[in-house]
Structure formats: C-alpha cells, structure tokens
Amino acid sequence: MPGHVLHWVDERTGLDRLRAAMRHKLVPVHRHSRWYYCGGLALLFLLVQFLTGILLTVYYRPGPQAHASVQRIVQDIPSGRWVHSVHVLAADGMIACLLLHLASTFFMRAYRRPRELTWLCGLALLAVTLTAGFSGYLLPLNERSYAATQVGLRLLAEVPAAGRPLADALLGGAEMSEETVHRFFALHTLILPNLMILLVLVHLALVQAHGLSTPPGQASPPGGHGRFLAYWPDFARRETLVWVTALSLLLVAAAFYTPDLGAPADPLKPTPLGIRPEWYFMPAFQMLRLLGRWLPGAGSEVVGMVAFGMAALGGVLVPFLDGGSDRPRRARMIRWLGVAFLAVATLLAGWGYLSSLAQVN
Amino acid sequence: MNAQPDAGGSAVTRRDFSGALLGAASAAYAASLALPVCRYLAAGSEAGGPEVRQVVLPKAAVQVAPGSVLYFTLGHEPGLLIHHSDDTWSAFGAYCSHLRCTVLYQPESDRFFCPCHEGVFDPRSGQNLAGPPAHPLERLDVAVNGEDLLISRIG
C-alpha cells in the first residue's frame, strides 16, 4: 500500500499503534516453543469453520429435510462433498488443537498469575467449541446423531438447577423432533459462533496484555538473558508458514475423505449396534459404560455426574491450586494429576473404540 | 455532594444509594426482558399436547413372527411389541430407562439390549438386569379386542 494511503488509514484508525504493539511483542524461544502454534492453529480452523459453515447453510435445510439436504450437498452439489468434508475435518482439527493448546498451557504452567483469566477464558472457549461439536453432530439427523442427542440432552437435564430448563429449551417439545433440529441449528450457527468470537477477542486481548508465558526453568524473564523472537515479523512469518501448511493439508485431506452420513434418523428403529460418539466425547462415553458395568443401577449415574463435575471444577481451579514457585511440591502434584488424567482419558477412549467394535462383531 | 456519616459510623452516601438503586433497576429491567425470552423458548415444550395413553394396532397389520418385535409410536415415544416364542405377547416403552436410547431385541440371547451404554433388560418383565439403567422399561398392557390389539399405558 502506498505510504500516504497507509498514513491516511493510520491517522483515522490508530492501526499504527497496533503494529507498534506487535513489534514489541516477544515470543520466548526454548525447546517447547513449538507448542505456541497450537492456539493459532485452532483459530485458523475456527475461521475455516466459519467460512465452510456459511457455505453449508446455503443448501442445508433444518427440519424434516435435514438428512436429505446434507445428502444433496454431498452427492449433487458441485464441490459439496469437499466443503462438507472440510467443515467436518476442521472441527476435528480445531478441537485437537484446542486440547493440545490446553495441555501445553497446563504442562508449561502458563496459567500462573497473572494469566488465570486467560486460562478460564480458554476453558470457556473449549466448552463452547465442544457444544458446537455436539450441536453440529445432530444437524444431518442420522441414526447416530439422534441417539447421541438423546443421551446428551438427558445428561444435561441431570445437571442441577439450570440443566432441566436448558435441556427443555433445546428439545423444543415433548420428544426430539424437527423442532429440536431447528433449535440446534440456531445454536450452532448463530449463538455459539458469536460467543466464540467474543471469547476469542477477550482471550487474544488478555494474551496481548500479559505477553506469552515462559515455562519455569526454560529462560530468563524479559530483561534477563533469555532468548526471544519478535512477534512481528519473525514469529508471524513462521506462523504463516504453519498456517499455510495446515490449511493445505486440511484441504487435500478433505478431498480424499467422505464423512459417513449414515441412515436417516428413525424413532421407530432401535439404536444401531456399535454406536459411538465423536472421539472427543469417547472417554466420557466409555466411563458411563464402565460405571454401569461395575456399579449397575442409579449409582453409576451419580458417580458419573460427580466425576464430570469434578473434572470441570478441577480444570477451573488449576491456576488457583498451583502454589507458584513457593510451592514446587504442589505444582509437581498438579502436573502428575494432569498426566494421570490424560492417561485415563486416552485409555478410556481406546477401550471405548474396542467396545463399540466388539458390539458389531 | 459530600455525605455526612451518621452517629453509628456507617456511611451510606447518596451516591452509594443511587448506585444500589440503579443496580436493582437494571436487574429488574434485565429480568423483565429475560422472562418473555424464557417463555418464548419454553413454548415448544408446552406444545406436546396431552399424553397419549393407548394405541390400537389392527391384528392384520401386526406381522410379528415369534421371537421378534414390532416398533410402534405411542404418542411421541416409541414402543415395542414382542411376540415371545411361546406365543405370548408383551409390550414396553422402547426408550432405555438410562439415557433414552432405543433398545433392541437380541433373539439369540433373548434380551433387550441398549447399544449406547450396554444396559440389559428382561424381555418378559422389562426388568433392568445389567448395566447402568436403574429402572425397568415402561411396561405396557396388551389386550385383544376383536381384530385389534390394544396397547395401553399402565397406571
């Protein structure tokens, strides 16, 4: 852009101040630096979700035609299968990046003072993203998504206080119906994306305000002898390369991947054998199955709800339980709890896939 | 305007009072907006209509071989009619009592099975036998009335 035009824009927008702030922003360089790309990648996948989501709404019809309209997108609309696959894969990519970002933030203890709110905002973003995954799952209205939504709404209704009214508001009737699909469509395409934009802006503003955290023991704080990279243009250049690579991989993968659309939902058909949720809900799903096996009856439901509540509460409390540099033992204990949580979740997910396969065979 | 502390020492200034009043008014304003929104969203739940207590299936239309089931609609919910191998019949609500997946009949093991969380029910009584369900399936009454099967809720 010619200099005088840039000057004209700067004078009216203050963009030069933003550029100056970016030039002063430093990215710590250490052996775990590569994890810093996860948050940005999640943002990239979110942008892809927005774009492909808008494209899908052109042909998608919530209501009784839901399944047929997705089938039409996939089978009849030129490039429809690709757009749909990009949307589905980017959702998986976004959640995977968010989970990696969360894990790296946890293990690098980047949630420590004064970044507690950044951590909480990130957790809220994860919760909203998982809700977006859950609500998007119903939209093609196939057998699997019908059963998954029944289960999800029933679990939501068990949450004390707000659970029941919220589940009723989402259900929109005595039973699951096209009304439910309309409500999930509104949630998925209007409410959650706007909430995400808001949370991303707050999250980025907080990151900007506090800068990137350096893991303890990896480098000296600013002013010391630690190594840093200027965000603009050095880190931005590398991040652009990572984005272009990830985007290209996503677009190519989508060309070879066809999500299984499944049979249309039919309330008069039994839930199909081998049913399983998306991979990110698998640990919770398998936990409910195992609890039912070990603690038949009402006990399993109570223990399951308490376990979900404890996991959520634990996540929220992490920055406040970490005693900082004064209490290394406590920080070590939290780290081992995190390792145990990850190990159990991975084990449950693997077990869940095997159990679902065993049902079919 | 400066506030004058009272004799007890508690200093509620005019500014504090106005702030509290403004806060309360804002909360009332928000609540008055939230109420119609909640009623608007809940409207669908009220549109369910009265509960359907009975369904009539013409015997001629019920082609269920012994050891198999027929799914039917009872109001908004699925029900299932099972023809046992000894030529007796039972009917149940088809939702698993755990988290409302629809159960399926497995003739090889003569049981109802919920694929979601692996709940197991007895096909004659609907009793929960294994897995997370804490309650039996909803039992329905089956009666023959001439050329029709009458399936009704009990109680």
Give me the CATH number covering residue A246.
Answer: 1.20.810.10
- State which H helix or E strand residue B93 sits in: strand B89-93
Is residue B41 located within the same domain as residue B102? no
Residue B60 structural domain: 54-153
**Each residue of B127-143: pLDDT tens digit?**
999 999 999 999 999 99
Is residue A131 located within the same domain as residue A251? yes
DSSP code, position B102? B
Is residue A215 located within the same domain as residue A177? yes
Q: Let me know if residue B90 belongs to a domain.
A: yes
Q: Are A169 and B42 in contact (CB under 8 A)?
A: yes
Q: In the predicted model, is pLDDT for residue B3 greater than 60?
A: no
Is residue B33 located within the same domain as residue B18? yes
Is residue B104 located within the same domain as residue B59? yes
Is residue A104 located within the same domain as residue A73? yes
Domain boundary among A272, A288, A309: A272
Q: Are A247 and A44 in contact (CB under 8 A)?
A: yes
Q: What is the mean pLDDT of residues B9-25?
A: 89
Chain A residues closer than 8 Å to B94 by CB: 270
Alpha-carbon distance A193 to nearest alpha carbon in chain B (angstroms): 20
Is residue A284 located within the same domain as residue A268? no
Distance, in Å, from the CA atom of B53 to the CA atom of B51, rounded to the nearest integer, reads: 6
Q: Let me know if residue B38 belongs to a domain.
A: yes
Distance, in Å, from the CA atom of B20 to the CA atom of B16, rounded to the nearest integer, reads: 6
Could you tell me the CATH number of the domain that includes residue A285?
1.10.287.980
Is residue A261 located within the same domain as residue A348? no
Q: Let me know if residue B4 belongs to a domain.
A: no
| Segment 64-103 of chain B within 8 Å of chain A by CB | 71-73, 75-78, 94, 98-103
Q: Let me know if residue B6 belongs to a domain.
A: no
Of B42, B116, B118, the CB nearest to A168: B42
Q: In the predicted model, is pLDDT for residue B49 greater than 80?
A: no
Q: Let me know if residue B3 belongs to a domain.
A: no
In 3-state terms, chain A is what percent helix, strand and coil (to 5)? 75, 0, 25
Is residue B39 located within the same domain as residue B58? no
DSSP code, position A191? I
Is residue B62 located within the same domain as residue B128? yes
Is residue B89 located within the same domain as residue B129? yes
Is residue B111 located within the same domain as residue B135? yes
Q: In the predicted model, is pLDDT for residue B1 greater than 50?
A: no
* Spans of chain A, pLDDT less than 50: none
Chain A residues closer than 8 Å to B128 by CB: 296-297
Write down the ipTM of this complex: 0.81
Distance, in Å, from the CA atom of A30 to the CA atom of A104, rounded to the nearest integer, reads: 13
What's the structural domain count of chain B?
A: 2
Distance, in Å, from the CA atom of A116 to the CA atom of A299, rounded to the nearest integer, reads: 35
| Chain B CA closest to residue A155 | B99
Domain boundary among A272, A302, A324: A272
When pLDDT is cut at 50, 70 and 90, the band that residue B8 belongs to is: low
Is residue B70 located within the same domain as residue B94? yes
> Who's near A111: CB < 8 A, 6+ residues apart?
A105, A118, A119, A318, A319, A322
Q: Let me know if residue B2 belongs to a domain.
A: no
pLDDT at A1: 61
Is residue A252 located within the same domain as residue A140? yes
Residues comprising chain B, all counted:
155
Of B76, B102, B128, the CB nearest to A174: B76
Is residue A235 located within the same domain as residue A258? yes
Is residue A207 located within the same domain as residue A351? no
Q: Let me know if residue A16 belongs to a domain.
A: no
Q: Let me know if residue B5 belongs to a domain.
A: no
Alpha-carbon distance B45 to nearest alpha carbon in chain A (angstroms): 4
Tokens of B146: 């001439």
What's the structural domain count of chain A?
A: 2
Q: Let me know if residue A12 belongs to a domain.
A: no
Alpha-carbon distance A206 to nearest alpha carbon in chain B (angstroms): 28
Distance, in Å, from the CA atom of A259 to the CA atom of A74, rounded to the nearest integer, reads: 9
Is residue A77 located within the same domain as residue A133? yes
CB contact under 8 A, A275 and B115: yes
Distance, in Å, from the CA atom of B119 to the CA atom of B88, rounded to the nearest integer, reads: 24
Is residue B81 located within the same domain as residue B106? yes
**Which residues of A sit within 8 Å Cβ distance of B?**
147, 150-151, 154-155, 165, 168-169, 171-175, 177, 179, 183, 267-275, 285, 288-289, 291-293, 296-298, 300-301, 355, 359
Alpha-carbon distance B21 to nearest alpha carbon in chain A (angstroms): 28
DSSP code, position B117? T
pLDDT at B130: 92
Is residue A229 located within the same domain as residue A177? yes
Q: In the predicted model, is pLDDT for residue B88 greater than 70?
A: yes
pLDDT at B4: 52
Q: Let me know if residue A10 belongs to a domain.
A: no
| Chain B CA closest to residue A156 | B99
Is residue B119 located within the same domain as residue B63? yes
Could you tell me the CATH number of the domain that includes residue B145?
2.102.10.10
pLDDT at A79: 93
Is residue A233 located within the same domain as residue A118? yes
Is residue A221 located within the same domain as residue A299? no
Tokens of A211: 């800068």
pLDDT at A239: 94
pLDDT at B58: 87
Q: Let me know if residue A30 belongs to a domain.
A: yes
Residue A349 structural domain: 273-361
Distance, in Å, from the CA atom of A244 to the CA atom of A94, rounded to the nearest integer, reads: 15
Q: Let me know if residue B111 belongs to a domain.
A: yes
